[in-house]
Chains A and B, each alone.
Chain A
Amino acid sequence: ETGVTQSPTHLIKTRGQQVTLRCSSQSGHNTVSWYQQALGQGPQFIFQYYREEENGRGNFPPRFSGLQFPNYSSELNVNALELDDSALYLCASRFGGTKGTDTQYFGPGTRLTVL
């Protein structure tokens, strides 16, 4: 069974640029969530995708957007990068749509640095 994978591992961008991060969900999982983890803090929920549609969003501006593909893999796009966007971006997958008791499986994350 393949776990959650994310690419790239590390990324350096400059302020104002755009970035795309990728996530492959665990086999059999149809739901993907994205989290942002600033240094020294716990992860913060960005949004969730279920069957290719966003069905939940945290307190993040519209310049954070995403996609989910028919194979349930997902992308996180961030436009107009700001210095505060520097963080570890985590993807988590599960099978269950909105059911809250499901276990979420996290990938290793993508470390984004904005200069």
Chain B
Amino acid sequence: DAKTTQPNSMESNEEEPVHLPCNHSTISGTDYIHWYRQLPSQGPEYVIHGLTSNVNNRMASLAIAEDRKSSTLILHRATLRDAAVYYCILLRSNDYKLSFGAGTTVTVRA
């Protein structure tokens, strides 16, 4: 499985944007970039996914580098509810099992 590298932790102030980087230098052409997050005492929650183009949804935006070797999850205005562990995961189009790493722990200050 292709690996991803994320910072262990990041801090943000409430209502400010958060940019979460993810490096995946060994990504293959059929790997989708998925982001999940896990709030305290809950199961993981889908955030967003993309292949080549930048993606936006109601939760976040995903910016994918042109060479696809890195991506950034953007939370436009962090709230206290966004405090969670964020996981960047590569998933082949014919695969289904999510390989979670350690993720990035995001802390939001009021």
Q: Interface on B for A, CB 8 Å cutoff?
A: 32, 41-46, 49, 85, 87, 91-103
Q: Is the interface of B mostly helix, strand, loop or mixed?
A: loop
Whether B103 pairs with A42 at a CB distance below 8 angstroms is yes
Cα-based distance from A35 to B38 in the complex (angstroms): 14
A107 close to B (CB within 8 Å) = yes
Whether B91 pairs with A101 at a CB distance below 8 angstroms is yes
Whether A92 pairs with B43 at a CB distance below 8 angstroms is yes
Chain B residue at smallest Cβ distance from A4: B43
Q: Using known A-B contacts A105-B46, A107-B43, A109-B43, determine if residue A100 contacts B92 with beta carbons closer than 8 Å.
A: yes
Chain A residues near B92 (CB-CB < 8 A)? 100
Cα-based distance from A43 to B85 in the complex (angstroms): 12
Chain B residues near A35 (CB-CB < 8 A)? 98, 100
In the complex, per-residue mask of A44-60: 1 if CB is within 8 Å of any chain B CB, else 0 = 11001000000010100
Q: Counting chain A CB atoms within 10 Å of each CB, which of B49, B93, B96, B99 scores highest?
A: B96
Instruction: Kindly provide the distance from the CB of B68 to the nearest chain A CB, expressed in whole angstroms.
Output: 16
- Cβ contact of A42, chosen from B41, B49, B94, B102, cutoff 8 A: B102
Interface residues of A in 78-115 (CB under 8 A from B): 90, 92, 94, 96, 98-109
